[in-house]
A and B are shown apart, each in its own frame.
Chain A
Amino acid sequence: MPPRLPHPDPGIPDTRGPGRYLWWLVRCQWPRALRGSVVATAWMIGLAVRPYLIARAIDDGLRTGDTRALLSWVAAIIAAGAVVAWLGIVRHRTMTFLREDATARSSQVLLGHVARLGAVLPRRVPAGEIATVCGTDISQASWALTMTGPGVGAVLSYAVAAVVLWAVDPMLAVFVLLGVPVVALAVGPLLNRLQGVDTAYRHELGILTARAGDIVSGLRVLAGVGGRDLFARRYAARSQRLLRQGYRVGDIMSWVQALTAGVPALFLAAVVWLSARMAAEGQITVGELVAVYGYVAILSTPVWFLLEGGFMTVRGVVAARRIIAVLRIQPDDSPGGAAPDGPAGLHDPQSGLTVPVGRMIGVAAEDPGDAIALADRLGRYAPSDVTWGGQAIAGLDPGAVRDRILVADHDSYLFAGTLRELLRAGGEHTDARLAAAIHAASADDVVESLPGGLDAPVEARGRNLSGGQRQRVRLAQHLLAEPEVLILIDPTSAVDSHTEARIADRLYEHRTGRTTVVLATSPLLLGRTDVVAYLRAGRVAAVGTHEELLHTEPGYRALVAREADEPETDAAEVGALR
């Protein structure tokens, strides 16, 4: 029975331990796991049927010359082949469903959790860690579930083979039943060793692949400055290193490959020798001799499954541990007090800044770090004494704050999707409002330049947009969110002056009547605000209109007009072109 994926409700994972997490994945679909065990057992036992039938065909048909018996045993061989094939595919399908159900469940609980964590996440785990968890750990945890099917089946079919062999000859049975696991255990470490050297090789290969990718990403730089031959030589040198590493791996690997196949073959030879002696002495029949030969070959299947399953489980537990490490991170969703009913003023005691309601205030900070810290305080991303409508913002419900105050980061993440999806950011908007926001952000040409306009695909991080385009798309997106309080950080740093002048005008119109904070040092932007606060050493040093401050505050003038009175202080970039 195929599962319906994605799960309507993935459930609440058991994060008390990696074992419990894996067990939870099984428990959520226990009927399927049970069916997997039954089918896998039947299939493995079925594998032993063919040697038995061949043996009977030899004993009853060939040796006695009984054509009818031979025909019926041959028919049985074909029928058994079909049944085993059917059992095999049912087992494979059931186990695939089991793994896929678990993979989807893990993906979904992780996805839900990561989406809920928000800004807490980057402080607790690096994004690369999440990439590993998603890329490999989820599927490794799912593979561990294979133990529930063939794992159980292996144990049961081994027991059945024991009974059958016992019936042939107890001494032989003991030899085979003990010998197969011993051989498997002897070969197992060899496999482990192989995995070790192969991991080292793969690591080196990863470095080389990264080098090639590095060269590809740097092609334009190389085209501008030169040095291609040098890079070709460096890559070749590293590639030769991998080649030598590959030789070393091949050295060991060829032994491992030969021995993993050879040692069981030697064991088989020993079994043949023992059983042939018994046949010579009349203890067993020739057919039984052939059957034993077949059983030994077949018995290795469950033993290998167990060995493989053991590795998988160990890896699965490690993977599950990393998954629950992410799932255990607690989101910052402590219930808090109710936010102010209507638009209310924000006040930051640390800098002394008061954000007036319904106005646009520019904040020009000498140190951009102060501006970012201020935005984090106003947006309740950092602990602070900021008040909103007189109440401490730290004590308010975080969800309510997020709904109404938007800190528009300079580098906010652009998710992959169509341009329209990106701009809407989860909300529903009419085309008219969409167009208005795009116009205000002066991003009309971005829409026009992309094939398909609003329906053009935008890659993650806006990789297929230029820096200036990304910035304007972000601005349009933030405007479209229409927050009660919008805090913009350097919204036009990457656009040309023509465009910046347009944005400054349109932004002011678009946000008329709503509280907006613009953290920037551009005179074009600051000139189109109601009031400007000049921040020096993290404190508000002066408040006034842009024009007033230009006249009264030399420091402000130097900051925003750059080429102003003291050429020696920041003339370097000017001197650059002088």
Chain B
Amino acid sequence: MTGTATTTTSPTATSTNTLPVADRATVRRSLAELARAERRSVALALVLHVAAAAAGLAAPWLVGRIIDRVTAGATAAEVDELALVIAACVVAQILLWRTAQNVSNRLGERANARLREDFVARTLRLPISVVERAGTGDLATRSSVDVATVGNTVRQVVPIVLISVIQLLLIVAAVFALHPLLGVAILAGVPTTVAVARWYLRRAPQAYLAEGEAASQLTESLTATAEGARTVEALRLAGQRVRVGNARVERQWTTRRTTLALRTVFFPVVETGYALPAAAMLLAGGAFLANGWLTLGAVVAAALYSQQAIAPLDHIMMFMEQAQRGSASLARVLGIGLVPPEPRGVSCAPRGQQLLVRGARFSYAGGHDVLHGIDLEICPGERLAVVGPSGAGKSTLARLLAGIDAPREGVVSIGGIAVTDLDPAERRRRIALVTQEHHVFIGTLRDNLAFAAPGAGDDDMRAALAAVGADWYAALPDGLDTELGDGARQLNPADAQQLALARLVLADPHTLILDEATAALDPTTARRTERSLGAVLEGRTVIAIAHRLYTAHDADRVAVLENGRISELGSHDELVRAGGAYAALWRSWHGDKA
């Protein structure tokens, strides 16, 4: 079917309808909330990390002490004693560090779980019209790439950066304790490092994002060539595919050279900076030593501290960029929460099942009207077929009837209540929209059925499957417990469509809107599916958007939709007698038998 051509299936057409991204204040608030909820663990982790880092400071200081003793002519026994203290400190550091790591790991895991569960819960509450307008691509990226990036950041990057910061602060504090002026000297490399880090961080996230994107584009291009191998051969596309692939290789190379150029500035400046504190320390130490303000051991300890500071500094530099990307992803993950959830609607139940459309007009986001004043009355139990050329507005009408969109003007009501005013859950119990999209969820066959009717037992499910003619069910190894979906057993399109229909049998709505439910299937499959459909339609009001005329032939009434208006309405026989567009089409379809 082609009705969705003018609707919202194309993400490229909806750039104005993108999903929101959280601003800094929102991100900060969420982080503060997370920290508040975990304040005891946060405090414990901090205390343990500080203790572990403090234990790590002992070795250089003790080496300094050893040197002073040795210079003063100490014996081997004294040295042994101090060496033993060093070893004890290292053991203490190992134990403290391990505990600190464990506490912060668990903290990170919990924060992650909370973030991703919130994200999915909020995604599930999104109004479907918002999802369709924004396209599922963005949402899919957020659910995979962004959630993973946030997860990785929370799990690995944040702890390392935090620990490194603590270690650095303590090292600086230790040197200050040796002598305040030495403390100033150890900061010798700070200005250049900060300057180049700022320079780098302003450019890096963008560049690395581009690099990642280019890499996945190359992979995608290669994979597509493999998936479409037969088409490549049939249409003689080998040359073109190689050209496209080479262009992707070039793009990847360009993006990688950009990041390399950034590193070419960043790394040497930072690394050169690592030599400065040691040099400054020795110079200052030389002056103090001459004045007798310090012992040689203290100067050596300070020099060793300046070396010890390199590792945490390196970690911070390395992970800063990732932390930045993590916070960008977090803003996108939290952005979902900014979309107002689907309104709950009024709770009162409609009186009756009659669907009524009066003067309904509709346009998509600032575009032209797609429907120009539709009037339609559908009685309970009626079978109405809607036919018409592509782009006539058939699918849009279906969406209005199902309450997914509200008309810009006019009214669509059921039993006297506007369908969009109904509580969504209530609405779905009454009206179901069946499209050509069928989706098999990851999970067991039971999982795939249960959500349509939470109260249904195994027998109900089996009966529903039997009703739609899903005879493949008998061949499943584990019956209702058979795992389906991505990575497990794949159902072919016809079976998947039958599964969707079985859900409908379970959900048991009184009105069904079929929007080209079988159009994407190949003809054989479509035939099988249509047979299953019969069982579902029994005893319900049916509005069928159809591209096959035999559907229209068998309906109680046919509505011909052209350019957003109903041009003909009546039973099949009436319309054929009327000799309009429908009659002409019917004759050509029907061949010479008419």
- A235 CB to closest chain B CB (Å) equals 5
B436 at the interface (CB under 8 A from A): yes
A566 at the interface (CB under 8 A from B): no
Residues of A within 8 A of B43 (CB): none
Known contacts A464-B9, A577-B544; A6 and B250 CB within 8 A of each other? yes
Contacting pair B283 A74 (CB below 8 A): yes
Chain A 537-555 interface residues, beta-carbon cutoff 8 Å to B: 546-547, 550
Contacting pair B589 A501 (CB below 8 A): yes
Contacting pair B3 A499 (CB below 8 A): no
Contacting pair B253 A6 (CB below 8 A): yes
Chain A 372-423 interface residues, beta-carbon cutoff 8 Å to B: 379, 381, 402-403, 406-410, 412-417
Chain A 20-69 interface residues, beta-carbon cutoff 8 Å to B: 50, 54, 57-58, 61-63, 65, 67
A222 at the interface (CB under 8 A from B): yes
Residues of B within 8 A of A214 (CB): 439, 441-442, 485-486
- B122 CB to closest chain A CB (Å) equals 9
Contacting pair A577 B555 (CB below 8 A): yes
B437 at the interface (CB under 8 A from A): yes
A234 at the interface (CB under 8 A from B): yes
- A287 CB to closest chain B CB (Å) equals 9
Contacting pair B522 A236 (CB below 8 A): no
Residues of A within 8 A of B462 (CB): none
Contacting pair B592 A262 (CB below 8 A): no
Partner of A226 from the list B272, B429, B520 (CB cut-off 8 Å) is: B429
Partner of B2 from the list A125, A417, A468 (CB cut-off 8 Å) is: A468
Report the bound CA distance from A130 to B268 in whole Å.
39
Residues of B within 8 A of A234 (CB): 443, 447
Say which size band chain B's interface belongs to. Answer: 35 or more
Residues of A within 8 A of B520 (CB): 467, 494
| Interface 9-mer from B113-121, B323-331, B406-414, B471-479 | B113-121
Report the bound CA distance from A577 to B570 in whole Å.
15
Partner of A108 from the list B249, B402, B537 (CB cut-off 8 Å) is: B249
Contacting pair B12 A118 (CB below 8 A): no
**What 1/0 mask marks residues of chain B from 247 to 270 whose CB sits below 8 Å from any chain A CB?**
001101100110010011001111
Contacting pair B526 A50 (CB below 8 A): no
Residues of B within 8 A of A277 (CB): 76, 79-80
Choose among A212, A240, A446, A496 the residue with the greatest number of B CB atoms under 10 Å from its CB: A496
Contacting pair B439 A217 (CB below 8 A): yes
Say which size band chain A's interface belongs to. Answer: 35 or more
Contacting pair B296 A62 (CB below 8 A): yes
Report the bound CA distance from A445 to B2 in whole Å.
10
- B240 CB to closest chain A CB (Å) equals 4
Known contacts A415-B228, A494-B519, A496-B1; A261 and B250 CB within 8 A of each other? no
| Interface 9-mer from A84-92, A185-193, A311-319 | A84-92
A5 at the interface (CB under 8 A from B): yes
Contacting pair A209 B435 (CB below 8 A): no
**What 1/0 mask marks residues of chain A from 240 to 281 whose CB sits below 8 Å from any chain B CB?**
101100110111011101110110011011101100110111
Chain B 444-471 interface residues, beta-carbon cutoff 8 Å to A: 447, 450-452, 454
- B331 CB to closest chain A CB (Å) equals 18
**What 1/0 mask marks residues of chain B from 506 to 519 whose CB sits below 8 Å from any chain A CB?**
01000000001001
Interface of A is mostly: helix
Partner of B240 from the list A249, A262, A425, A574 (CB cut-off 8 Å) is: A425
Contacting pair A269 B83 (CB below 8 A): yes
Chain A: which residue is nearest B105 at the CB level?
A: A250
B40 at the interface (CB under 8 A from A): no
Contacting pair A221 B80 (CB below 8 A): no
**What 1/0 mask marks residues of chain B from 546 to 559 whose CB sits below 8 Å from any chain A CB?**
11111101110000
Partner of B304 from the list A293, A426, A446, A560 (CB cut-off 8 Å) is: A293
| Interface 9-mer from A75-83, A155-163, A166-174, A176-184 | A75-83
B87 at the interface (CB under 8 A from A): yes
Contacting pair B428 A235 (CB below 8 A): no
A490 at the interface (CB under 8 A from B): yes
Contacting pair B105 A546 (CB below 8 A): no
Contacting pair B229 A118 (CB below 8 A): yes
Contacting pair A111 B245 (CB below 8 A): yes
Chain A 81-119 interface residues, beta-carbon cutoff 8 Å to B: 81-82, 84-86, 88-89, 92-93, 96, 100, 103-104, 107-108, 110-112, 114-119
Known contacts A220-B131, A524-B588, A547-B591; A118 and B230 CB within 8 A of each other? yes
Contacting pair B436 A467 (CB below 8 A): yes
Residues of A within 8 A of B75 (CB): 280
- A107 CB to closest chain B CB (Å) equals 5
Residues of B within 8 A of A70 (CB): 282-283, 286
Contacting pair A258 B97 (CB below 8 A): yes
Report the bound CA distance from A316 to B555 in whole Å.
64
Partner of A280 from the list B70, B227, B242, B389 (CB cut-off 8 Å) is: B70
Report the bound CA distance from A168 to B394 in whole Å.
89
Contacting pair B439 A498 (CB below 8 A): no
- A171 CB to closest chain B CB (Å) equals 15
Contacting pair A222 B109 (CB below 8 A): no
- B326 CB to closest chain A CB (Å) equals 16
Chain B: which residue is nearest A77 at the CB level?
A: B279
Residues of A within 8 A of B433 (CB): 224
Partner of B12 from the list A240, A381, A450 (CB cut-off 8 Å) is: A450
Residues of A within 8 A of B13 (CB): 449-451
Residues of A within 8 A of B222 (CB): 107, 110-111, 114, 130, 134
Contacting pair B452 A465 (CB below 8 A): no
Report the bound CA distance from A281 to B117 in whole Å.
64
A208 at the interface (CB under 8 A from B): yes
**What 1/0 mask marks residues of chain B from 92 to 129 whose CB sits below 8 Å from any chain A CB?**
01110111011001100110110011011101111010
B186 at the interface (CB under 8 A from A): no
A200 at the interface (CB under 8 A from B): no
- B248 CB to closest chain A CB (Å) equals 8
Partner of A577 from the list B1, B220, B385 (CB cut-off 8 Å) is: B385
B90 at the interface (CB under 8 A from A): yes
Contacting pair B592 A547 (CB below 8 A): yes
B347 at the interface (CB under 8 A from A): no
B523 at the interface (CB under 8 A from A): yes
**What 1/0 mask marks residues of chain B from 279 to 293 whose CB sits below 8 Å from any chain A CB?**
100110110011000
Contacting pair B534 A576 (CB below 8 A): yes
Contacting pair A78 B279 (CB below 8 A): yes
Contacting pair B286 A121 (CB below 8 A): no
Residues of A within 8 A of B241 (CB): 111, 114-115, 415
Contacting pair B542 A224 (CB below 8 A): no
Report the bound CA distance from A327 to B321 in whole Å.
37
Partner of B388 from the list A212, A493, A496 (CB cut-off 8 Å) is: A496
Report the bound CA distance from A415 to B234 in whole Å.
13
Chain A 417-437 interface residues, beta-carbon cutoff 8 Å to B: 417, 425-426
Partner of B93 from the list A120, A232, A265 (CB cut-off 8 Å) is: A265
**What 1/0 mask marks residues of chain B from 296 to 321 whose CB sits below 8 Å from any chain A CB?**
10011001100100000000000000
Residues of A within 8 A of B271 (CB): 81, 84-85, 88-89
Chain B: which residue is nearest A97 at the CB level?
A: B260
Known contacts A65-B289, A242-B113; A115 and B225 CB within 8 A of each other? yes
Contacting pair A6 B249 (CB below 8 A): yes
Contacting pair B253 A445 (CB below 8 A): no
| Interface 9-mer from B29-37, B136-144, B355-363, B372-380 | B136-144
Contacting pair A108 B245 (CB below 8 A): yes
Contacting pair B226 A415 (CB below 8 A): no
Residues of A within 8 A of B487 (CB): 210
Residues of A within 8 A of B527 (CB): 570, 573
CB pairs A–B below 8 angstroms (23 shown): A5-B249, A58-B296, A82-B272, A117-B229, A118-B232, A127-B223, A135-B223, A219-B126, A219-B128, A231-B451, A246-B113, A247-B106, A255-B98, A258-B94, A272-B63, A273-B80, A279-B66, A464-B12, A496-B387, A496-B546, A498-B389, A523-B590, A524-B588
Which 9 pairs show the lowest CB-CB distances between chains A and B?
A81-B275, A227-B451, A413-B228, A118-B233, A250-B105, A573-B530, A273-B83, A496-B547, A468-B2
Apart from A74-B279, A573-B551, list 5 A-B contacts with CB within 8 A. A92-B263, A107-B222, A230-B450, A426-B239, A498-B390
